[in-house]
């Protein structure tokens, strides 16, 4: 694409929210560009089975769902560009999206950049990332064949990843700092009934141990304060998500979690700028709700563009 390429709608992010927005925007007849820095599907490309997305009774791998959604959006005319967005800015009555690959102009922008896994913030975590510390069971699980690994977290993502790890590890220890898990009951039953899984509730990981590779963790019981050591070959961390909104901080108001406040049509406080998916305030953080957000954002953008045309007459 050349410098200053113009579209009706530019969508930043190619996850479920962004791809859903692209499908609806293109079907409305708008020239649509999706800018994504990685593969289509966002974080879900690393999930081996998404079991709560309607239409797939046996689940669907994230690495299949993303390309299918991209293909569907492209069928109706959406275009795609791999690039990282550096900033967006209002220019006259339009938006300018600045990337390393070029500049894109748009009458409306939908931000759907998603989130990334939070760090625990404990000693040796970052030093051992890639040496036993991971956020991707499908990527790194095979490295721990017949070894003991830990999983930090109690939500759906953590439990789905635990089910991936049991295919490789000899034992999966689930560490959760609450007394109950937050994942759906059916998923909890599958995980907790697996003979390779053991759960340690009310337990926080205070340090990941090892020099050149993970050898264990120091943990603490949140009820009694008792500390102990656990021998592990790997630690998979799913302790929440951080929204990818750094490039928006000087543009619009974010909430206390650095998420984007929107209304029901995903409109932000700035005209023509929309946000969808788990980077927005009060998102449920599920694939299906992100898909709904993307559709709503595209419908909202369509209404905005129609109103804009009417005002210009």
Alpha-carbon span 130 to 208, nearest angstrom: 13
Nearest alpha carbon to residue 55 among 248, 287, 212: 287
Average pLDDT over residues 259-275: 97
Together in a domain, 110 and 128: no
Q: Are 163 and 191 in contact (CB under 8 A)?
A: yes
Number of domains in the chain: 2
Digit-coded pLDDT (tens) for 11-23? 999 999 999 999 9
What are the distances in angstroms from CA 12 to CA 19, 21, 40, 214, 313?
Answer: 10, 10, 12, 36, 29
Whether 136 sits among the annotated catalytic residues: the reply is yes
Q: Are 254 and 246 in contact (CB under 8 A)?
A: no
Together in a domain, 201 and 222: yes
Whether 146 sits among the annotated catalytic residues: the reply is no
Paired with 241 in beta bridges are 117
Q: Catalytic residue among 119, 136, 177, 221, which?
A: 136
Together in a domain, 81 and 108: yes
Residue with tokens 């309607």: 54
The 8-class DSSP code of residue 63 comes to: H
pLDDT at 241 over 70: yes
Residue 132: domain span: 119-237
Together in a domain, 49 and 109: yes
Alpha-carbon span 217 to 210, nearest angstrom: 9
Give the HSE-up count for residue 68: Cα atoms under 13 Å, Cβ half-sphere: 10
Q: Catalytic residue among 8, 52, 119, 140, which?
A: 140
Digit-coded pLDDT (tens) for 206-235? 999 999 999 999 999 999 999 999 999 999
Instruction: Determine the pLDDT at residue 44.
Output: 83
Together in a domain, 169 and 93: no
- CATH, residue 129: 3.50.50.60
Size of the chain in residues: 313
Q: Are 294 and 20 in contact (CB under 8 A)?
A: yes
What are the distances in angstroms from CA 113 to CA 43, 57, 244, 276, 299?
Answer: 10, 28, 6, 8, 18
Q: Are strands 115-117 and 241-243 parallel, antiparallel or unpaired?
A: antiparallel
Instruction: Determine the pLDDT at residue 4.
Output: 62
Whole-model pTM: value is: 0.90
Domain boundary among 192, 216, 237: 237
φ, ψ (nearest 5 deg) of residue 312: -85, -10
Helix (H, G, I), strand (E, B), or coil: what is residue 220?
A: strand
Q: Are 169 and 144 in contact (CB under 8 A)?
A: yes
Instruction: Determine the pLDDT at residue 1.
Output: 42
Together in a domain, 136 and 282: no
Together in a domain, 127 and 276: no
Together in a domain, 228 and 123: yes
Assigned token pair, 176: 């959760």
Q: Are 297 and 276 in contact (CB under 8 A)?
A: yes
Alpha-carbon span 29 to 8, nearest angstrom: 9
Digit-coded pLDDT (tens) for 271-293? 999 999 999 999 998 999 999 99
Together in a domain, 258 and 246: yes
Helix (H, G, I), strand (E, B), or coil: what is residue 198?
A: strand
Nearest alpha carbon to residue 147 among 233, 206, 221: 233
Q: Catalytic residue among 8, 52, 119, 139, which?
A: 139
Whether 119 sits among the annotated catalytic residues: the reply is no
> In this predicted structure, which of 17-26, 41-50, 129-138, 185-194 has the lowest mean pLDDT?
41-50
Nearest alpha carbon to residue 293 among 35, 22, 55, 64: 22
Together in a domain, 257 and 112: yes
Assigned token pair, 62: 């994230």
Together in a domain, 111 and 248: yes
Domain boundary among 194, 214, 237: 237
φ, ψ (nearest 5 deg) of residue 212: -100, -10
Instruction: Determine the pLDDT at residue 3.
Output: 55
Domain boundary among 237, 254, 289: 237
Together in a domain, 20 and 104: yes
């Amino acid at each position: 694409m050349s410098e200053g390429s113009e579209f009706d709608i530019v969508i930043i992010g190619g996850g479920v929210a962004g791809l859903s927005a692209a499908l609806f925007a293109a079907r409305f007849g708008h020239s649509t560009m999706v800018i994504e820095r990685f593969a289509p599907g966002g974080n879900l490309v690393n999930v081996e089975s998404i079991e709560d997305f309607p239409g797939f009774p046996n689940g669907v791998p994230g690495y299949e769902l993303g390309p299918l959604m991209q293909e569907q959006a492209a069928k109706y005319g959406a275009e795609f560009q791999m690039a990282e967005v550096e900033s967006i800015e209002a220019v006259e009555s339009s938006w300018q999206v600045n990337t390393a690959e070029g500049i894109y102009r748009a009458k409306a922008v939908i931000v759907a950049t998603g989130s990334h896994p939070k760090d625990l913030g404990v000693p040796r975590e970052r030093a051992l990332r890639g040496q036993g510390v991971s956020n991707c069971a499908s990527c790194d699980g095979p490295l721990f064949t017949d070894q003991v690994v830990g999983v930090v977290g109690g939500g759906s993502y953590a439990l789905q990843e635990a089910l991936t790890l049991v295919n490789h590890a000899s034992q999966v220890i689930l560490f959760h700092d609450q007394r109950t898990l937050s994942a759906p009951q059916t998923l909890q039953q599958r995980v907790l009934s697996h003979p390779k899984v053991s759960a340690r509730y009310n337990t926080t990981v205070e340090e990941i141990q090892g020099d050149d590779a993970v050898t264990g963790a120091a943990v603490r019981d949140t009820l009694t304060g008792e500390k102990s050591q656990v021998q592990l070959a790997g630690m998979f961390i799913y302790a929440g998500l951080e929204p990818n909104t750094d490039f928006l901080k000087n543009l619009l108001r974010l909430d206390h979690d650095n998420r984007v406040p929107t209304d029901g049509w995903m409109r932000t406080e700035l005209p023509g700028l929309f946000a969808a998916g788990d980077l927005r305030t009060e998102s449920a953080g599920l694939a299906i709700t992100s898909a709904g957000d993307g559709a709503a954002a595209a419908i909202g953008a369509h209404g905005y563009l129609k109103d804009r045309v009417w005002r210009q007459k």
